[in-house]
Amino acid sequence: MYESSDLRKGLKIVIDGDPYIVTDFQFSKPGKGQALYRCKLKNMVTGYTMDRTYRSGEKFEPANLDEAHMQYLYKDSDGYHFMDTRTYNQVRVTEDHVGDAKNFLSENMEVDVLFFQDTPIDISLPIFVELRVAKAAPGVRGDTATGATKPVTLDTGYELQVPLFIEEGEVLKIDTRTGQYVERAKK
């Protein structure tokens, strides 16, 4: 069981039989009083959101989701398609359930798809992925000693800040936990 002090953004708990994810979290301690944990929670199946305030010492049931190791195939108007690498079973995950992971998916990438009962409701990405730069303006000449950065867009449409020497077509290693550039991918 989780306790109140475990609450943080991204934690998955069961409330009234449904899996919820903490989407926003505020730790509050008014005037040296008891700690309060104020959460925005999203129902991972229905998408319904709600606010709850918890006190210290409360307990929460972890949302145990079934995991299947799958490969990303493609995206169409119905959603994102994945295939179980053992059974060749295919599933379709809606864009809403894919969430931010859509910024980091590339063809044949191996991910874990999380199911609640039989509905795919979330994607768990590898910590590091390699993605190609689709669009980058040339780096501006000038003072690079201060570690200045520029924005580029990846094949997935995701925009991030990278060092000035990065060019279009390069493959970058990205940390999916933070969405940040790590280094150029090793060939």
Partner 1 sequence: MVPVPNTPRGRRLLARANIAAALRDVLRNQGFLEVDTPLMIQAPAPEPSIEAFAVPQGRGAADLFLIPSPELNLKRLLSRGFRKIFQMGPVFRKGERGRYHLPEFRMLEWYRSDAGYEELMADCEILLGQAARACGLDGSTLLFEGREIDIRPPFQRMTVDEAFRSFAGWTPGPSPDLSRFNEDMATKVEPNLPKNRPVFLMDYPAACASLARLKDGHSEVAERVELYVAGIELANGFSELTDRAEQEERFRRDGLRRLELGLAPYPPPEAFLASLQDLPPCAGMALGVDRLVMLMTDATSIDEVVPFVPEAIPADARTTPGADCA
Binding footprint of partner 1 on the chain (CB under 8 A): 5, 8-10, 25-36, 38, 53, 55, 57, 100, 146-149, 151, 158-161, 177-181
The two three-digit tokens of residue 169, written as one number? 């077509």
Nearest approach, Cβ of residue 72 and partner 1 (Å)? 20
As measured in angstroms, the least distance from the Cβ of 122 to partner 1 is 14
- Beta bridge partner(s), residue 3: 59
Token pair 């999203």 is at which residue?
A: 42
Which residue number, 126 or 151, has a Cβ lying nearer to partner 1? Answer: 151
Residue 182 burial by Cβ neighbours in a 10 Å radius (0-12, 13-18, 19+): middle
Q: How far is the CB of 85 from partner 1 (least distance, A)?
A: 27
Residue 4 corresponds to which tokens in the numbers above?
A: 């109140």
How far apart CA 58 and CA 118 sit, in angstroms, is 29
Q: How far apart are CA 21 and CA 2, in angstroms?
A: 13
- Residue 35 or residue 73: which is nearer to partner 1 going by CB? 35
Of 103 and 109, nearer to partner 1 (C-beta) is 103
CB of 56 to partner 1, least distance (A): 8
- As measured in angstroms, the least distance from the Cβ of 39 to partner 1 is 11
Identify which of residues 115 and 181 has a Cβ nearer to partner 1 in the complex: 181
Task: Provide, rounded to whole angstroms, the least separation between the CB of residue 69 and partner 1.
Answer: 23
Distance CA 64, CA 157 (A): 32
Q: Which residue lies nearer to partner 1 by CB, 92 or 132?
A: 132
Tokens of 64: 């145990």
Phi-psi category of residue 17: left, alpha or beta, with phi > 0 → left and psi -120 to 50 → alpha: left
Coil/strand/helix, residue 85? coil
Q: Backbone phi, then psi, for 5, in 5-degree steps? A: -70, -10
51 DSSP β-pair partners? 40
Complex with partner 1: residue 119 or 149, whichever CB lies closer: 149
